[in-house]
């Protein structure tokens, strides 16, 4: 694997005398997606990552609703979500930003510079008929 391709696909977490610890970029994306989905009011990730997340672990997918850019241990995340009808868009977005930032920083040790949210649509929950 070329150095440039390796750099584009994984990030150094730690250098130790026993070796180097790296994290794949897809792992940071999955952490962000899972954290966002834990927030009440988030109906879905754009691209359906919630239903397919296990299939994407270790695989690249351009349609996950999450993009992360890591440079020198600093992360900028871009997340597209659908919000449930009746929830405050600013409140849900703020909670998603906080949850994603916390999740990435706790699990990777990277510093999150920004979590940018794009609300794609409002989803209306249908109630089952009796």
Q: How many residues does the chain have?
A: 130
Task: Report the percentage of the chain scoring pLDDT > 90.
Answer: 55
Let me know if residue 127 belongs to a domain. no
Q: What tokens were used for 130?
A: 């009796």
pLDDT in tens, 27-36: 999 999 999 9
pLDDT at 127: 60
- pLDDT confidence band for 23 (50 / 70 / 90): confident
Let me know if residue 12 belongs to a domain. no
Let me know if residue 59 belongs to a domain. yes
Let me know if residue 39 belongs to a domain. yes
Let me know if residue 79 belongs to a domain. yes
Name the residue with tokens 């730690």: 14
- pLDDT confidence band for 108 (50 / 70 / 90): very high
Let me know if residue 71 belongs to a domain. yes
Let me know: does 11 contact 71? Beta carbons within 8 Å.
Answer: no
Let me know if residue 13 belongs to a domain. no
Residue numbers of the domain that contains 118: 26-122
- pLDDT confidence band for 6 (50 / 70 / 90): very low
Q: Is the dihedral of CA 45, 46, 51, 56 positive or negative?
A: negative
For the domain that residue 57 is a member of, what is the CATH number?
3.30.70.1350
The number of domains in the chain is 1
Under DSSP, the state recorded for 58 is T
More confident residue, 112 or 48: 112
Distance, in Å, from the CA atom of 52 to the CA atom of 6, rounded to the nearest integer, reads 25
Distance, in Å, from the CA atom of 94 to the CA atom of 51, rounded to the nearest integer, reads 23
- Mean pLDDT across 61-82: 84
Let me know if residue 47 belongs to a domain. yes
Mean confidence (pLDDT) of the chain:
81
Distance, in Å, from the CA atom of 38 to the CA atom of 47, rounded to the nearest integer, reads 17
Let me know: does 36 contact 80? Beta carbons within 8 Å.
Answer: no
pLDDT in tens, 60-70: 444 568 999 99
Let me know: does 48 contact 61? Beta carbons within 8 Å.
Answer: no
- Mean pLDDT across 103-108: 96
Task: Give the strand pairing for 10-16 and 19-24.
Answer: antiparallel
């Amino acid at each position: 694997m070329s150095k440039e391709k390796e750099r584009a696909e994984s990030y150094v977490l730690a250098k130790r005398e026993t070796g180097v610890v790296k994290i794949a970029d897809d792992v940071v994306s999955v952490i962000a997606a899972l954290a966002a989905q834990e927030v009440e009011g988030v109906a879905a990730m754009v691209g359906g990552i919630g239903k397919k997340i296990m299939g994407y672990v270790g695989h690249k997918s351009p349609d996950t609703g999450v993009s992360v850019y890591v440079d020198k241990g600093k992360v900028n995340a871009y997340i597209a979500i659908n919000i449930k009808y009746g929830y405050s868009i600013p409140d849900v977005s703020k909670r998603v930003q906080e949850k994603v930032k916390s999740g990435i920083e706790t699990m990777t040790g990277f510093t999150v510079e920004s979590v940018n949210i794009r609300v794609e649509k409002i989803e209306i929950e249908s109630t089952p008929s009796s």
